[in-house]
Amino acid sequence: MKMALADTPVVLIQGARQVGKSTLAAQVLAGTGARLLTLDTHSVLSAAQNDPDSFVRQNPDSLLAIDEVQRAPELLRAVKAVVDEQRRPGQFLLTGSADLLRIPGQHESLAGRAETIPLFGLSQGEIRSGKDDLASRLFSGDEIGLNDFAGTMSRDEYLEIICEGSYPEPRLRSGRRRQAWFDNYLSRIVDRDAKDISRLMHLDRLPRLMRLLAANNSGELVKSRFAKGIDLPETSISGYLELLASLYLIHFLPAWGGNLTQRVIGRPKVSLLDSGLAARLNNLSVAAFHPGSATAHHAGGLTEAFVTGEIRRQSTWAPNRFEMFHFRDRSGREVDLILEDDARNIVGLEVKSSATVQARDFAGLEYLSAVTGTRFKMGVVLYMGKSAVRFGPRLWALPLSALWI
């Protein structure tokens, strides 16, 4: 962030409520002479809405930081005017709990003047004070040392991590206190943030939609199913899904391989960005995933969503940019997660919620290797066992902890 402020007039930190945006901003600005104002304070919000132009000019010789700027999106035009008058780096630091480009009626993108830094909650590497970047290791194609990814954690320990999620505060709680935090979190977002940025009529149905999405975590997006579940026409459901995405509660994983074969399934997958919130919405705990329980089948989707979320976090600091996809065709071949870098190199990831892995678990990765040839750098099955095992050229089974070791 400091690098962005050094060469960019406006830096915008965006992410869900309670992922740590304000804390990060305060840490970066400590001792700099910057002024930090939050629009969560009623009087500050009123002043911003009453006179946006004067509001953004109140710290002209230093940096002005505005927290939760989505509550007064009219400030962006005023910020643009200031930057256009005097184009110098480090004039504004803005934080937002919504994607400002998706807010209805918001036409100011600050293109060429701003850099957006997404914040997706704490990664497991950040929690452990390490540097997690599995994708870069796999894109290198270097198999030497992959045995070092051998783990020590049990399946229940992995599941506990997944149920904790990435928000800092509920990780410090357990049992009913963690459940209460998630319940209040979703309620407050629906009651305030959604109403701040949306003109949709049936916002009271968002909690039900979130529960349906959590139950279908990492599943393909069939809009008709979700529309029926919340009693809306299929033509209306896209707006509600976009709203949840703009609040950084869900994310989409597009399909890969559209020009590979006509038999590719083109629907995106959709999952919650936080696995802890998904577990709560499904009323799941570690015990609920034990073999034989009625809810054990939820473990697969929740674990896949957890891995997707971790890789998405890592993508924000990986030295080389990559995009994320999933793959499935009508022959039943599928890969949970495909990473493709700017050179079109490919890494494939399969996710298993079991403590064992078998040769058949590599079927999708073997197909991916065959159709992409030298572009295929590595295929990995991430599972809840402890051993790193080579299953063939560029094919490995690695413990889930390889994400952050």
Domains contained in the chain, CATH given: 2-119 (3.40.50.300), 125-403 (no CATH)
- Give the residue ranges of the chain where pLDDT is below 70: 104-107, 258-264
Contact 347, 339 (CB under 8 A): yes
pTM exceeds 0.85: yes
Going by C-alpha positions, the residue among 12, 9, 3 that lies closest to residue 84 is 9
Residue with tokens 């992995």: 158
**What gap in Å lies between CA 84 and CA 99, rounded to an integer?**
23
Pairing of the two strands 64-67 and 92-96: parallel
Look at phi and psi of residue 145 and say left if phi exceeds 0, alpha if psi is from -120 to 50, else beta: left
Letter string b/e over residues 229-257, b meaning 16 or more CB atoms within 10 A of that residue's CB: bbebeeeebeebbbbbbbbbbbbebebbb
What pLDDT is attached to residue 109?
74
Pairing of the two strands 64-67 and 35-38: parallel
**What gap in Å lies between CA 95 and CA 22, rounded to an integer?**
7
**What gap in Å lies between CA 379 and CA 366, rounded to an integer?**
8
> What does each C-alpha distance from 194 to 97, 190, 228, 243 come to in angstroms?
10, 5, 21, 7
Question: Which residues lie below 8 Å from residue 367, measured CB to CB, with a gap of 6+?
Answer: 333
Query: Which parts of 128-199 fold into alpha helices (H)?
Result: 134-139, 155-164, 168-171, 175-188, 194-197
The β-bridge partners of 115 are 11
> What does each C-alpha distance from 12 to 114, 270, 298, 339 come to in angstroms?
7, 25, 36, 26
Backbone CA torsion sign across 31, 32, 35, 36? negative
- List phi, psi (to 5°) of 95: -120, 145
Pairing of the two strands 114-119 and 334-341: unpaired
Contact 97, 21 (CB under 8 A): yes
**What gap in Å lies between CA 109 and CA 259, rounded to an integer?**
32
**What gap in Å lies between CA 168 and CA 121, rounded to an integer?**
8
**What gap in Å lies between CA 377 and CA 41, rounded to an integer?**
50
Going by C-alpha positions, the residue among 221, 224, 257, 238 that lies closest to residue 364 is 257
**What gap in Å lies between CA 343 and CA 375, rounded to an integer?**
9
- 3-state secondary structure (DSSP) of residue 90: coil
- List phi, psi (to 5°) of 33: 85, 5
